Structures are given as structure tokens and as C-alpha cells.
Amino acid sequence: ARRAGCAREPAPPPSPSPCCSPAVMTDVVSTNDLLSTESLQALDDDCSLLKSLLQDCLNRDVGAALAHKLERLNALSVASCSLRHNSGPEEADFLFERMREEIEDLPLDEAIPLIRYCSHYLNLSGIAETHHRVRTGRQRERQSGSFQDIFAQMIAKGVTQAELYSHICEQHVEVVLTAHPTQVNRRTLQYKHTKIETCLERNDRPDLTAEERALNLEDLVREVTSLWATDELRRSKPTVLDEARGGLHIIEQSLWNAVPAYLRRLSYALKDHTGRPLPLDATPITFASWMGGDRDGNPNVTAQVTMDVSRLGRWMAADLFLREIDALRFELSMGQCSTELRAVVEELQLGGEMDVAGGRVTASVHGTPSSHMQAAHTLPSDSRTSLGGVLHRQQHSLDAQNNVTENMRNLGMVTGMLPQNVDGTIDSVALPSVHLPHAKERKSFMSFGPFASQSPKTTPQAAAAVISSPGPSTAPGEGSSSDKRASSVEWLIRETTPQSSPAKPPAAAVAAAAGGASALGSTAPSLERRPQTQKAAQVATPYRVLLGDVRAKLVNTRRRMEDLLAGNAALDEECFQHPEELIEPLLLCYRSLHDTNQGVVADGRLLDLIRRAYTFGLTLMKLDLRQESDRHAEALTAVTNYLGLGSYSEWDEQKKQEWLVQELQGRRPLVPRNFPCNEKVQEVIQTFRAAAVLGADSLAAYVISMAQSAADVLAVELLQREALQAVHGDQGLAPGTLRVVPLFETVRDLDNAGKVLRQLFSNEWYMNHLRTNHSSHQEVMIGYSDSGKDAGRLSATWGLYKAQEDIVRVCEEFRIKVTLFHGRGGSVGRGGGPMHLAIQSQPPGSVQGRLRITEQGEMVQAKFGIPAVTLRQLEVYTTAVTMATLSPPDSARNEEWRRIMDQMAETSKSAYRSVVQQDPNFIPYFKQATPESELGNLNIGSRPTRRKKTVDLSGLRAIPWIFAWTQTRFVLPAWLGCGVAFREAIDQGKLPMLREMYAHWPYFASTLDLVEMVLAKANLKIAKLYDDRLVDDELKPLGEQLRRQMQETQDTLLQITGEAKLGDNNKVLFRLIADREAYLAPINVLQVELLRRLRLEPDNCRLRDALLIAINGVASGMRNTG
């Protein structure tokens, strides 16, 4: 792509911060994060301070006597854990049993404070760890794995400066935030945690006076007290829009400021090592989202919801850019500019007149006053609105103004650092919970174009041209309210004949109405102005005039999103539709400043804003759409049956492909209007039409879950083509159509991935389509969750490794560029682990400078919740991809290594399936020994815990499967089958080769290291307690067998790694895990007792709430839950 120019970096950025958040223990790479054991003293001091504040809260809440009793029980746990880790198992067991007996006898009123105390401490210690990593990272001159470190390594390895520069400029990583339900903490609690970390950071400042330090401590006391007094539980299930709003708050809270800082640091390092800074339009990292687009097994995600989430993202983007433009206009007060910019400014002046002194504006076009600009308007005192309110309406009546305001409040929009919870509460501000307008409140579902105004005028010809969604028609006035809503969604796209638009005010006049030359918000100082003519005033501040036009369009864009979200007809005003429209005037300012020797100003706030525009666009995060392949087949079956062609689902693969290609090559519409179909088919077709309306500016990719064949991909291409024709006319697959991404999930599908792609690329139509519309580029997603649930951890990781090799090999054969999309979770059982380690352990050649990866639930907050951690996390993505591309990791040194892995993977899979799929006692044991059935009460996600209503594990999602085992401290999915495979290989005399593989093969080493970390966080004694108290006698032998397998896994693992005990390779990490054990154990003991009582009294609400608090507490201590 043509580069827009290069930024000049005036000064080096601050020293890098830490590798990653310790709140996510799978992301702790090495002791480098914490320097040495001695350096933990500052961390211990922070933990002691926070613990003392928490104890004060406990004393005030329950009284000194009960607080002393609970602290004594906690002290028993601390002593027991300390003895266990210092070779005193008998004494440790004695103290544990004493603690258990006393805890099990606690009445509920005493048990709940103990759970809350331990849970809050686990969260607070995680905050302290995060802060300590930030602190120790700043002490180093060069952070391991930083830009400076990795670029120096690449140059030393023989990578030329030109190669390094080209790679960084073309590198692209896309982080996809998902709404997978693994974050147990409410957003209010997350916000309070962030404020506590801020207090700890301030407390470290050496320049604080005694008074300032005392005041900061008071702030910390207030935050901990507020945390203790806040309800831990979500009282209502989040909606899809709530989840999407949470993702947008991550952008606002940290990414919005972290991204330009990250790019500035990258540019400085790049210039330091290559002599050239990062181009302005380089986007090494962008962001996408599944929140509002992932409909796989979630009936709550509809076409209407996807439209609303996309509009919500545009609203937030306009609001964030508006704040930056206001600040930039105040900064760019200079009058000297380039000829190019002055010409544009003079053109903007031609249409209207402005009284600068009075702040009023009148405008006309061709001598005719605009209908909504006839009266002079006085600027409101605060031109900036918060997310909880809306813009003051100058063009609307007061009634309409109040209506839109209320709707935006109902949509839960709140700016700044006041994140609203899914249950509708925020700090300092009380807003109602999210409520989307009902169908009767909407004027129409959507109009032509993603965010076009909804014209009140529709000609008879236009009405006849309306493209109907499939489904039974309803006569006017018939049906229930739900039927009316369905009917309103039937008419998905309204084609209207061109109408003469009302005269619009000139851009400069709109800019003045939206803020004038000095509309910088209530906090900005007012500008001294003299009465003068409009031209003289604008020429004196040309940048402000140009940015005033940008501001006006942002105001209009935000207002239009409000109207569309509220179901109102949007005004016909000039808005931003594409990112280039926003970027163009910013680049003009940038060039002008450099042309007039003011480049140092251009390389400040303006440079950051331009980079934000390239990175975030007008949507902040593009949405992916995801649906199961069976749903597409069901929709096409309904069509073929209606057309008398037979049942598509019953055709073989060859016949499916032939028919699909025939239809794709044709031009006639396939889906008839109003053909009879069920609601599921109707929703599929409506989704594709919504995608055609939103387009590639708002959407990123269409992901096919459970993809198994080439026909699954071609089916989506056909449905997409049909929707594009319905919306845009007979244009076929126009450039900008969504890329279609097959997702291979099970081990069998991963084994067949290369074969499926070879069939797909052998199809002439598909290859022409890739070349024409996607620049010969194919994206392929691989799933870590279902493959692990299907075959176990060891077999799944090897299947994923080989699948990537096959995918890369086939793409190279057909000269197709490939991007691998990794669907990883937070836990090891779902592909979690340190990001740098995960990327470096991929097969050589599989990264190629491009990567897509999911981040979900607790991982999103842990990696992107705090700006300093966010900055380091973004750096890790870039450096890891750089190393994997320019200096690929070692592969298996010989075929014997691969044969050993093949053998161990097969043995592991057989051992895993013999328990999980073939043992008839396993499902009853799983349901009794874990809180799986009770997890649905957590209210942590909008989607059901099961895809299908089945008794076996096939319908259970991978997240509750792993979440449940994590709660019992058994963490079975991460290790089951590994020990059997290791033992078989060792018994065959292959231990020396296994040790060689561990030492020299990054894939094998990372696999074993992550299993070791999981085993360190597991606890056999706790797992046995669940069996003893909750499992029927006839099922207990299965639990004993599984515990023996876990012990065997640990023993054989240590044989291969050569360690004496778990954690010898990372003593700091395992010391932190051991510290948490003292607070986890009491919660686990209480959880077992609460489960026992609740299963006897299933309707006891107090018991259920106490159990949910205990589940939250264990999740906080384990740090990764699903």
C-alpha cells in the first residue's frame, strides 16, 4: 500500500513495562518478569498493606470476635500450606483436617464472610502482582522481548535493516475480543481493582510529600472499603449488547491511549535499528470483536442485534474522535499553513457566515436558508457529552430530544472511567439497565446502506421494490406483539427511489453550529476574540476551521447513530461513512505543519490521532460473524426443497459442490421472496442481508464453525452472494465482500484441513474469487477448545501443530497467502499460555508476518485492563510475530521425534476417550464431583452453556467443561491422557530422546511446561474432598483411578524435565502459586460443603448465593477459568 508519509520521532519513549499481567498465570513467562526472589520484598509489602486494609473491613463488618475466629481459620490454612511446601506433609495434613472440620461446622452467616475475605484477598494479591511487574519492568534498561531487544537480535542474526523495516511495515496482527463467559468479576469490581492499582502506583513515587502520601493512603482505604461493600454477584444475565459495551469500554479504558504509545515506541525502535521511522499508515495491530456477531449456539445474537452493536461501535468511535478533535483544535492555534490547506479552508468559507464574537452562525445554500439552520444557535456551555447523555439537539423538538436521550441511557452508554455493569449500576452514576427499543418503537429495521438516514418518503415504486426476508407474511393488523416484531424484521432492506435532498448547510456553518471556532468543551480555556469578519477570523486560525468541519461531521455521525439506535429517522446530514474521510483532513494538517517548519507539533497529538484513525477506523473494532455449518446447510435445504430440487443436506459432497458452483456462476437470484421457512432459516438469511448492508467497513470475516468440507465454504459464499444481490442489485460478489473463514475444531477435522483446502483451491470459481476479491489470500481458523475436549490436551496440540503444517503446505502449493486464526482460550486446556511462548512454538512458516488470535473473558481484562500492561502486551504480539517470521523456531530435528509424538498423541487420545467417552460412569461422576450444573447461575454470559440439549458431553461447551474441573482443583482436561502416553514412551526406552526433544524443540517444551504449571495449581487433596463429600460410593473408584493417573502424569513429567519437583524451572512463579493456596483451600472446603447442602435444599437462595461467591473466589485464585 502507498505510504502516507513517515512520522518524525522527537524523543525516545519511556522504558518498557513488564511482560504481561500476573493476574493471568498462564501468561507468566519466566522469572525475568520479577527479576529475582529478593525483588519480591516490595510485592510482599504491598500484599501486607492490602491485607491489613481488608482485615479492617472484616472487623467493621462482622465484629472483632467473629473476625478473629475467621482469621484464625485462615491462619491454619496458611500454616498447613507452608508446611506442605517445606517437606512437612504429616503436620500439614493434621492442620488441614483441623481447618476443614471447623469450616464445615460454620453457620452460613459466618461462612460467607470467610469466603468473601479470602476471595477479595486473592484479587488484591493479583493486583499487587500486576503492579509489581510494572514496577520491576521499569527498573530495566532493556526489557527482555522488547522492541529494542528483539530488533537487535534480528540484526545480529543476519536480518538486514531493509528486511526488518519491510517486515514491520507489513506485519499485521489482529486481536479478536470475544464474549466467552469466563470473566466472573463484575465490571464495577474490575474498575475498582484498576483504581487500587493506581493508588499502589502513586504510593511508589519518591517525590510525594508526607501529606500527599497520607492522602493517597486514604484513597486506598476508601477503594478497599468500597470493594468490600460491593455485591460480588451479577443479579441478571448480561445481554449481547451488554457484552459488546464491555468490549468497547476496554477500548476506551486502555487501548485508545495505549495504541499510539505502542506505535510511538515501535517507531522509535525501528528508526534506531533501521534509520527509518514507522510509516503513518502502518497498522501492525488492529482489533476485531465477536461480541454481537458470534451466533454459534447463541439464539440471542440476531441480525437486529448485530446492526445495533455495529452502530454502538460507531457511536463510541465518533465520541472518542470528537474528544481528540476538541483538544487538537485548541492546540493547533497557529495561523501559518500550507497553500494546499489554505485552499481547502477558503473553499469551506464560501458557504456561510459566522459571527465569531457572538458564537452564532447563519448559513444558506444558493441563498436559501437551510430548514434546520434558519435560526441562530448559541453553543451549549459543554459541547462534549458523556456516554450517559446525548448531544443537545438544535434541530429536534424537545420531545424528540428527550426520547433520544432516554434511549441512549437505556443503551447504557457512559463515558470516561465509569464502566457500567451488566446489571445497570456504575460508580457515582445510576443508569437503568440496557434496553433495546421494541419493534413498535422502531420505524424500520434498517435502511439502504449501513447507517443511511431513514427517509419518511417512500414512493409506490420503492415499496414494490422492497426485498423481503423469507418467512410467512402477516396481514396488516394481525398477530401478537412478537409477531409484529418479526414482521418488522421481514422487510430487511428498503430500496427507495432517489429523492431530492433538502438543502444542506455548508460544512463551515455546521462546524460553527457544533462548536464554533472555540468549541473546545467546558474545561478548555476560552479564546480571546475580537469582532471581525468570518474570513479574517478563519484565515487567522486555518487549522481550527478545517478541524471544525471534521468536528461537525463527527457530531452528525454520533447523532445519526443515536437516531438509528433509537429507531428514529435520522436527519439528512453530512456524516463520516468511511475512515478515509476522517483521515484525509488530518493528513492535510500533518503535511501542512511539516511544510511550514512546525513538524515538531505535527508529531505530537496529531500524529497519535492519525494513527488511531488508521488502527481503529470508524468502528473501533470490526465485527466477525460466526455460525455453524449445519445452519447454512439447513437454509439451503429449505431453498432446494422449495424449488423442487431435492434435499441439499442429503446430497453427497461432489453434488453439493457442483450445484453451488453452478449457482455462483449464474446471475439469477436463488432465494425467492417470502418462501416458507422456519425461524432458524429466516434468521440465517436475515444475517447475510444485514452483512450485505453493513459491508466490509463494519465487518471483518464470516467464520464457519464445525467446517468439514469445501461445500461448507461455498455454501456461505452463495448465501453471501444472494444477500449482496438483494441489497445492491445484480453486482455479484463485489470487491469488499467478507472473507469466509473455515474453522476446523475437532481432531478429525484438523486432520482433514489440508484436504479440504486442496479441494477448495482446486475449484476454478473459488480461485478466481480469491484472486479478484481477496488478493489471493485465505484465512483459516483452528480451534483449541473443542479439539481438546474431543481428544485431550496432548493429542489436540499435536493435531493442531500438524494441521498448521498441512495448511501452510497446501497454500504454498497453490500460491495462496494464508493467515492462521488461533481460537485460543485463557486456560491451558483451551490453548492458553504465555503469548510469546505460544507464537514461538508454532510450526516454522505458519506465521509469515500475519496472525489473528482471540482473547476472551478474564484474559481481556488481565491483558488490556491496565494501560501499562496493555502497552507491554501489544509489544509482545509484535516481537513474537517478528521472531516467528524472521527467525522461525526449530522444528523436529528428525523423523523419529515426529514418530514419538504420533505414538504419544494416539496413546493419549485413547486413554482420554476411554474415560471421557467410553466409561459409562464418567458423566454421572462429572456431574456429582463438580459444580457444572450450578455454573449456569453465575450470569456471566449471554449464551447458553450447551449448544444442544444432550446428556453427554457433545453438546456441552468447552468453557463450562474446563471451568467445572478448575473449580475442583482437578483441572482434568489439561493433563488426562498425558501420563499414560509419557509412561509408555519411557517404558520403551525413549526417555533420553524425550529429554532431547524437551531441550531442543520449542513445541514440545512449551507443551510440557504448561502441563507442569497446571499440575502445580491442582490439588489432589482438595479434589479427593469433592469425591468424599459429593460422589456416590459406586462412582468413587473412578475418582481414585483418575487421581492415580494425575500422580503418574506428574511423576513422568518430572522424569522428562529432569526436575526434582514441580516449579524448579520457575521458582518465583511457583512461589506465587503456593502463596495463593492458603486462601484458595478454605474457599474450596466451603464450596464442597455448600454444594452438599444446596443439593439437599435446591431452592435455598442464600445457599445458592454463597456457592456462587465461592465459585467466584476459586476462579479469582486460579486466575484462568475457561
List Cα–Cα distances, 964 to 185, 532, 1023, 1082, in angstroms.
Answer: 17, 72, 12, 18
Q: In what order do the strands lie in the sheet with 360-365?
A: 352-355, 360-365, 368-369
| Residue 981: CB atoms within 10 Å | 26
Strand partners, 701: 739
Phi, psi of 33 (to 5 degrees): -65, -30
**Residue written as cell 476462579?**
1115
The answer to whether residues 188 and 426 touch, using CB atoms and an 8 Å cutoff, is yes
Closest residue by Cα to residue 675 from 822, 494, 468, 482: 468
> Which residues are marked as active site?
180, 789
Cell of residue 436, nine digits: 433495546
Q: Is 671 exposed, middle or buried (0-12, 13-18, 19+ CB in 10 A)?
A: buried
Q: Is 455 exposed, middle or buried (0-12, 13-18, 19+ CB in 10 A)?
A: middle
CA dist 744 and 754 (Å) reads 10
Of all helices (H) and strands (E), which one includes residue 175?
Answer: strand 172-178
What letter does residue 946 receive in the DSSP assignment? B
Phi, psi of 234 (to 5 degrees): -75, 130
The answer to whether residues 143 and 901 touch, using CB atoms and an 8 Å cutoff, is no
Three-state SS for 768? Answer: helix
Please, what is the Cα angle at 1064 between 1059 and 1065, to 5 degrees? 95
Give the pairing of strands 850-856 and 817-823.
parallel
User: How far is C-alpha 472 from the chain's CA centre?
Assistant: 37
Of all helices (H) and strands (E), which one includes residue 741?
Answer: strand 739-744
User: How far is C-alpha 144 from the chain's CA centre?
Assistant: 26
CA dist 488 and 484 (Å) reads 6
CA dist 558 and 554 (Å) reads 6
Q: Which residues does 973 contact at the CB level (< 8 Å), separation at least 6?
A: 788, 789, 792, 793, 829, 961, 962, 965
User: On the CB side of 34, how many CA atoms lie within 13 Å of its CA?
Assistant: 27
Rounded (10°) CA dihedral 198, 202, 203, 204: 110
Cell of residue 759, nine digits: 479441494
Give the pairing of strands 352-355 and 360-365.
antiparallel
Cα radius of gyration rounded to whole Å, the chain: 30
Helix ranges (H only) for 480-602 are 481-490, 507-514, 534-540, 542-566, 579-595, 599-601
List Cα–Cα distances, 1088 to 110, 130, 928, 929, 1107, in angstroms.
Answer: 16, 30, 11, 9, 9
* Euclidean distance between the first and the last CA atom of the chain, given in angstroms as a whole number: 39
CA dist 557 and 864 (Å) reads 28
CA dist 835 and 819 (Å) reads 17
| Residue 555: CB atoms within 10 Å | 25
